[in-house]
Amino acid sequence: MFRPFHGFALLSLGIAGACASVTPAITGDPAVTVTALVETPPVGTAREDAADDPAIWRNPANPAASLVVGTDKKGGLYVYDLKGAQKSFLAAPGLNNVDLLELAAGRVLVVASDRSDLTRVNLFLALLDTATGKLAPAGRIAVGPGEGYGICMVKPAGGEGIIAFSAPKSGTIYRTLIREANGVFSGTTTTLAQVATQTEGCVADPRTATLYIGEEDAGIWAIDMNTGAKRLVAPVDNRMLVADVEGLALAPEGADGGYLVASSQGDNAFAVFRLPDIKPLGRFRIAPGALGSVEETDGIELDNRDFGPDFPGGLFIAQDGINAPKAQNFKFVRWDEVLAALGEAK
């Protein structure tokens, strides 16, 4: 959740490089630092909380030619290459979080939470042409009451279709089974779980049938994708996590290992936990380097596979909520550099 007064004040003062001077009210445990290698152009909506969430499509034939989809929640969906250059833009105001999955025959389904109606949760669907980097609208699925916010998808192991999980502001967690017939997508929704207060961050692990949800002021929940049974696995403690808990991302390794990363927006850091037991590993920040630092991060994304010479050990992407004097954008970081800074030898 962006703090508009804070960000607006920095922009109004016209402080170039204001990112580096942000001092959060609460600071958690010490964080190591890394720097961004790539950034995207600023989103088209200036002087507002606009950029929000990225999703990564990895090109299996040429990982360096992979694509990134990012939201401008006032404008629509951008597609970028791994140099940060804009490939295309699809106008669709009101989109917030975004995720994508591959369908049969190499098609890529992109799904975003649609907030154009603040009383009903809806899913906006598009198909990504991976050759051109362009998006084509593919329909809209009604989910249920609430204001759409978080979204993540998964292909269930041994199951049919695609499951989209919606995390609206009300704390209700919806589970929507998306099917396609004759080129038309439809969805069947049930309520999976409920938490007490506002949610957003969302990532699903099909290996363990676990959905991770960020309740902004409480922490990270692990929820059984099938039964809805839940447990708070990483509370906001002003050490690892400082509210608001925002984006969540997953780097799977093996049958149930890897890492879970959370945006600890309250002190402009990222918390890293080891899977499967959600053991705290450490925290990092994206500091000024050849590119600017990163603050007020909403959405994050992570893929720990090879992405070519620029990102051989994986790609981490963070929305930069304070990119003064320009509008918000997305910054790309080498995941292997994050692990090295945290003392994880690979």
CATH number at residue 319: 2.120.10.30
Question: Considering its fold, how many domains does the chain have in total?
Answer: 1
pTM for the structure as a whole: 0.93
Fill in the DSSP letter of residue 131.
T
For residues 12 and 311, what is the distance between their CA atoms, to the nearest angstrom? 36
Q: Using 50, 70 and 90 to split pLDDT, how confident is the model at 4? A: very low
Give a yes or no: residue 85 inside a domain: yes
Give a yes or no: residue 185 inside a domain: yes
Give a yes or no: residue 125 inside a domain: yes
Give a yes or no: residue 18 inside a domain: no
pLDDT at 22: 53
For residues 128 and 130, what is the distance between their CA atoms, to the nearest angstrom? 6
What is the CA angle 153-159-160, rounded to 5? 80
Domain that holds residue 104: 4-11+26-341
Give a yes or no: residue 346 inside a domain: no
pLDDT at 157: 76
pLDDT at 8: 31
Q: 190-236 pLDDT, tens per residue?
A: 999 999 999 999 999 999 999 999 999 999 999 999 999 999 999 99
Q: 58-89 pLDDT, tens per residue?
A: 999 999 999 999 999 999 999 999 999 999 99
Give a yes or no: residue 69 inside a domain: yes
- Percent of the residues in the chain that have a pLDDT greater than 70, as a whole number: 93
Give a yes or no: residue 301 inside a domain: yes
Within 13 Å of residue 301, how many CA atoms lie on the same side as its CB? Answer: 27
- Percent of the residues in the chain that have a pLDDT greater than 90, as a whole number: 87
The continuous run of DSSP H or E covering 335 comes out as helix 335-341
Fill in the DSSP letter of residue 106.
G
Of the candidates 214, 186, 194, which has an alpha carbon nearest to the alpha carbon of residue 273? 214
Give a yes or no: residue 20 inside a domain: no
Token representation of residue 57: 């499509």
Cβ partners under 8 Å of residue 158, min gap 6: none
